[in-house]
Structure formats: structure tokens, C-alpha cells
Structure 1
């Protein structure tokens, strides 16, 4: 996914000289193609993420369209005050890119895990949040984020994420994308956990449960039009994310639906409220977090959802 980001940014920067990149001493070779024709717009800010956010805000005030890029916890939590004051409060069109989101850097431990980033960014006025499921979604949505001309958090994966679409999806910022139609329950997934959502959908189908599968690539603003329709069509809604269950995508869905006149049961699945350590791979970390088809299915049975 990070390779796709670098490629798309390079293509866009060739035709838009206002685009520039700040990166925090990571991915130096990744951005070599961009440096070849736009060295002055490819700026290594060093391991000074707070400064990087403020530099980007200043560039935006001067008319540029800056991206800031590094590993997710360091591009959101480490410089949260600067994002709040310099970018969100001033409503500057900075795109904050967090690579290796969720448990992508599983073996590096909780310092490199990002299970609080959506919650942090959701709390900021003026901030948009987009979590593509794969490189294809990234490529389609990224130009749309530039056109927003607003602050945006772009939560992407690391590398080798599987493709989740068999054809080019018609993705539109702010609108969820229904991948498979269903009638009994709706599975809403955001970000790189989508392959697990697809496995869950297949598992439910094998048990005779007609489920709908939806990519909620945009977490903020939330697609409330879909949710309004879903609460009339389904018996239950399932949300899936590689993020803490508190304050993330599932919380956003639950908060909205709980305020409606006819609320619908929402069953959230994500990282539980404890640190995930002593793991050697993303798959191992997901098992420890309970993010497997078997664990989710068992909980759905216990809750009498299915």
C-alpha cells in the first residue's frame, strides 16, 4: 500500500506543482522517483514529527497542498497538538498519512501499533478520515482527498495487502461502497481488515446467513444515508476494524444509530482494551486480539445474532 501511495503521489505531483511531501526520515528510497523531478517538494523533516506537522500547515497557508507521511502512531499521536492547533483549528488542507496502520508492525510491539489513531482524529473538528481497504481503493480515493482542500487523515497499510475488489469500484469520498448485497445482517468494514470481513461473509453464507458486505472507506464524515437505510433493512449490523473498539469506526456507527428513533443492534469487533504484545506477525496479533473468523463467529452465536 505504501508503494501505491508513493506511485500515485508521484503521478499527481507531475501535473500539480502545489503538491509537496514531508516525511519523517522513513521511506527515503520509496520517494526517489518523486525526488527526481521535484526534489524541492520532497522534504525529509527528520524524526521531528511535530515540526513536520507545523511545517506542512505553514506550507498550506502559503498555497501548497502538503502531505505528511510516517508510521501511523508517529504521524498522529506524537504530534497531536500540532495537528489540532496548526492544521485542524486553522482548517488547512494538509493530508496526514499514517502508514502501517493497526497491527501492521505487529512484531515491533505497542510503540508501533496504532489502535487509537482514528479516535484521536475523530475528536478534531474539520478533520476528515479515510481508511482504504487496499491499494486500489487508495488510488481511487487519493485524488478526491486533494480536491477536498480540507484537513484529512489518510490511514493506509504497510505492504503486500491483498486486493479486495475483482473490478474497479466506483468509490466516492463520504459514501460507503456495497461489495455484496444481503438481507439479514450487514457487515461494515473499514481499512485493511477487509479481507477478514470477506472471510466472515463467506463463513456466514456457508451457514445460510444472507449478509451484506460494505467497505466504509470514509469514517468521517460517516455515511449516515447508508446507516439510515440499513436500520430498516437488517436485523443486525456488524462493524469490523483494526482499531480499539473505543472511539473508532464502530463507535461512530453505534453513536449515530443509538440516537435514532428506531435503533438497531450494533455488534463491534476490533482490538480489545489492552495492549497486544509478544507477537511475531500481524496474523499472530490478530489471533491474540480475537480478530479471526472463528472468534467473531463464536461471539455472534453467543449474542444470538445468528
Structure 2
């Protein structure tokens, strides 16, 4: 996804000289093409994340469209006050681009895991949250971000995710991306970001068992596609959410909050990471297994819910 983002940004920057890219000393082997082609619109500020965000805001206020690129904890948590005041409060055209969703940087330990980022960014007024599931969503929304008014947080994975969207998919900010749809289904699985592999495997297994299932990528967490959710609640008996994020504050919380204030009473269950920091150090898959965030565990739980 990150490679798709950079390639798309390079293409857009050739046509729009307002685009400016800032990094706090990260993105090596990824950002070089942009730096070489647009040296006067690229800035490495060193290991100074707060400065990166404030500089980006200042450039945005002078008419630039600025993108700040870093590993997720370093582009959301370390400079949080600057994001809150200089970006969200000022409603500036800053795009915070974080890589390494969820447990992607598993071997680096809890300091590099990103399990609270959606919850943190959701709490900020004016902030749009984009958590793509495949490179096509990245390409489409990056292009749309040029004309978007206000800040955006990009939650990108970095493991060479496959394209699961169709070329005719209507991908736009604030609208869910329907990957599979079956008019006979009573089940809907909503997923976001780098949980796509598990969501697809679970859906495949349900279909093999004769359980027709809709599969929907929620690439925009905020603003949320409540029209789609309303339709699902009125037509589906079972709704499940899957996300590699804390059980608190992410996709599942958005859905639960809406259900709580509606007149619907579906069978709804969230699948996410537990409310704790990982003391396990290892691959993404290794830590997923330690927390039961796997296809087998989720499928077993879903089947127990079906009646």
C-alpha cells in the first residue's frame, strides 16, 4: 500500500505543484522517487515529529497540500498536541500518512505497534480517517485527497497487500466498498485496513459451509457510511466486524455506538485485539495467534453465533 501511495502521489505532484511531502527521517527506499523529482517540495526534518506536523500546517495555511509520512505511532501519538491544535483545530489541509497498521511492525515491539490510532484520530473534530484494505483503495482516495478540505489520517499497511476491489468499484471518501454481495445472505462482515486477509478467509469458509455472506471494506472510518450500515441493519440478521486494532474505539465501536441508539437488535460481535499492550515480540502472524486474532478463532466464534 505504501508503494502505491507514493507512486500515486508522484503522479499527482507532476500535475499539481501545491503537493508537498514531509518526513521526520523515515521512508527510506520508499520516498526517493518523490524527493528526486520534486526536491523543492520534499523536506526531511529529522527526528522531530512535532516540528514536521507544525511545518506541514504552516505550509497548508500558505496554500500547499501537505503530506507527513512516518510509522504510525510517530505520526499520530508523538506529535498529538500539534495534530490537535495545528491540524484538527485549524482544519488545515494536512494529510498524516502512517504506515504499519496494527501489528505490522511486530518484531519492533509495542512502541511500534499501532493499536490505538483509529480511536485517537476519531476523537478529533474535523479529522477524516482513511484505513484502506487494498492498493486500489489507496490509489483512489489519494487522488481524491487533493481536493478534500480539512485534514486526513491515512492508515496504511506495508506487506504487499493484493487488490481485492474490482476496477469498477465506486471508491470514495465516506462510502464503503462492497467486495462481495449476495441478496440471499443474512450475514455481513465489515472489516477495515489490514484485516482483509482474515476477513476474506472467514468469508470463504462460511460460503463453503453454505452460509451466504456479504463482505464489505470500510476504508473510511470517519465520516462513516451510516447509510450502508442502516441498510445492513434492516436486511441482515448477523453483523460482524474485524479489525487489527484495539477492541476499544475502532470500527467495532463505531458500529456498536450506532446500534445502541437505533431501534435495531441484530446479533453483532466485534473481532479485534484485546485492550492490552503486547509483550510478545515476533512476526505479525505470531502475535495475532497469541491473541486469537486468526481465521480459525474468528470463524469458530461466528459459527457459534449463527442459529
After TM superposition, the score normalised by the length of structure 1 is: 0.96
Counterpart contact for 1:162–1:195, Cα < 8 Å: no
SS at match of 1:21: strand
Alpha-carbon separation, structure 1, partners of 2:213 and 2:29: 43
Which consecutive residues of structure 1, in runs of 5 or more, have no partner in the other structure? none
Alpha-carbon separation, structure 2, partners of 1:132 and 1:93: 20
* 1:29-73 residue CA offsets vs partner (Å, 9 max, x unmatched): 422221223111110011111111111111111111000010001
Give the Å deviation of 1:184: 1.1
Counterpart contact for 1:227–1:257, Cα < 8 Å: no
* 1:229-260 residue CA offsets vs partner (Å, 9 max, x unmatched): 11111111100111001001110111012111
Give the Å deviation of 1:112: 0.4
Counterpart contact for 2:94–2:151, Cα < 8 Å: yes
Partner of 1:235: 237
Work out whether 1:275 is the aligned partner of 2:265: no
Partner of 1:32: 32
Give the Å deviation of 1:168: 4.7
Counterpart contact for 2:198–2:294, Cα < 8 Å: yes
Counterpart contact for 1:73–1:112, Cα < 8 Å: yes
Alpha-carbon separation, structure 1, partners of 2:285 and 2:29: 27
Partner of 1:134: 134
Give the Å deviation of 1:99: 0.5
Match of 1:197 among 185, 194, 199: 199
Counterparts of residues 1-306 of structure 1 (less than 5 Å): 1-165=1-165, 167-182=167-182, 183-302=185-304, 304-305=305-306
Alpha-carbon separation, structure 2, partners of 1:143 and 1:263: 38
- RMSD (Å), alpha carbons: 1.3
Counterpart contact for 1:203–1:293, Cα < 8 Å: no
Question: Paired residues, what number?
Answer: 305
Give the Å deviation of 1:149: 2.0
Give the Å deviation of 1:166: 5.2
* 1:69-114 residue CA offsets vs partner (Å, 9 max, x unmatched): 1000110011111100110001001011011111110111111000
Counterpart contact for 1:197–1:240, Cα < 8 Å: yes
Give the Å deviation of 1:134: 1.5
SS at match of 1:28: coil
Counterpart contact for 2:116–2:246, Cα < 8 Å: yes
SS at match of 2:249: coil
Alpha-carbon separation, structure 1, partners of 2:47 and 2:12: 26
Counterpart contact for 2:164–2:179, Cα < 8 Å: no
Counterpart contact for 2:18–2:64, Cα < 8 Å: yes
Give the Å deviation of 1:277: 3.1
Which consecutive residues of structure 2, in runs of 5 or more, have no partner in the other structure? none
Counterpart contact for 1:204–1:211, Cα < 8 Å: yes
Alpha-carbon separation, structure 2, partners of 1:67 and 1:285: 31
Counterpart contact for 1:241–1:249, Cα < 8 Å: yes
SS at match of 1:63: coil
Flag as ranges the 4+ runs of structure 1 deviating above 4 A: none
Give the Å deviation of 1:124: 0.3
SS at match of 1:20: strand
